[in-house]
Structure 1
């Protein structure tokens, strides 16, 4: 289950940011996860609870924004939703040369700290393709 390794990486990055900025607890963390990233949101939520135990994220709420997969045709510049499994044939010209525009994201979008300031920190980003 690679969701556990993803959850552990998120916790590690937030722990590092907490120590850098003097925070001792977080109330929530938000992730942007592409539908083509191969991540099962429920498994990630479960794994996050395990990985967060005993850290600044223990008890924090995890929210996951699913980013839809989108592709763009190299020939006619049409853009479309890929779906899962992804359809990479252009619906307009039937061309097969497409670039993925979105859907592979895996990024920390926001962390909310519970300390004295409770301000969001959006400078944490982690992407995997």
Structure 2
């Protein structure tokens, strides 16, 4: 199950971002996942609690946006969203196409919470 290793790497990235921004808590993590990425969304969701258990993101919600599979036809130049199991141009039925997107795994956003700044009190 390589989804656990992926989650651990994701948590490392999120912790670095949270540290850089001086955050106390991670509220949510949004990733973009293409159907051809080789990562199963359900396995990723099951691995996430284990990977995040001792991290600043332990209570964060993991949100997964499924990204479209998009190709460019090498014959007619048309760009199209296609099913991941049919990388054929819908315009001219050409099978020689170039994958533009659909194989990625992207960290899209991290929602952080920081402590309220302390208000200095002075006695006059």
What's the TM-score, normalizing by structure 2? Answer: 0.84
CA RMSD of the aligned region, Å? 1.5
Q: Distance in 2 between matches of 1:29 and 1:92?
A: 37
Residue number in structure 2 paired with 1:82: 82
SS at match of 1:11: helix
1:62-81 equivalences in 2 (<5 Å): 62-81=62-81
Task: List runs of 5+ in structure 1 lacking aligned partners.
Answer: 118-129
Q: What whole-Å deviation, never above 9, does each CA across 1:72-125 have from its counterpart, x for those lacking one?
A: 10110123333232x2232332323211121012111111112237xxxxxxxx
Q: Which runs of 5+ in 2 are unaligned?
A: 117-124
Structure index of larger Rg? 2
The superposition leaves residues 41-91 of structure 1 with CA deviations (integer Å, 9 ceiling, x where unpaired) of: 111011111101010100110100000111110110123333232x22323
Task: Please name the residue that 2:119 is paired with.
Answer: none
Q: Which moved more, 1:89-98 or 1:54-63?
A: 89-98
Segment drifting more, 33-42 vs 90-99: 90-99
- What does residue range 98-117 of structure 1 map to in structure 2 within 5 Å? 98-116=97-115
What SS is found at the alignment partner of 1:77? Answer: coil
The list of structure 1 runs, each at least 4 consecutive aligned residues, that deviate by more than 4 angstroms after superposition, is none
Partner of 2:11: 11
The question of whether the paired residues in 1 share the 8 Å contact of 2:22 and 2:114 is answered with no
1:17: Cα distance to partner?
1.4
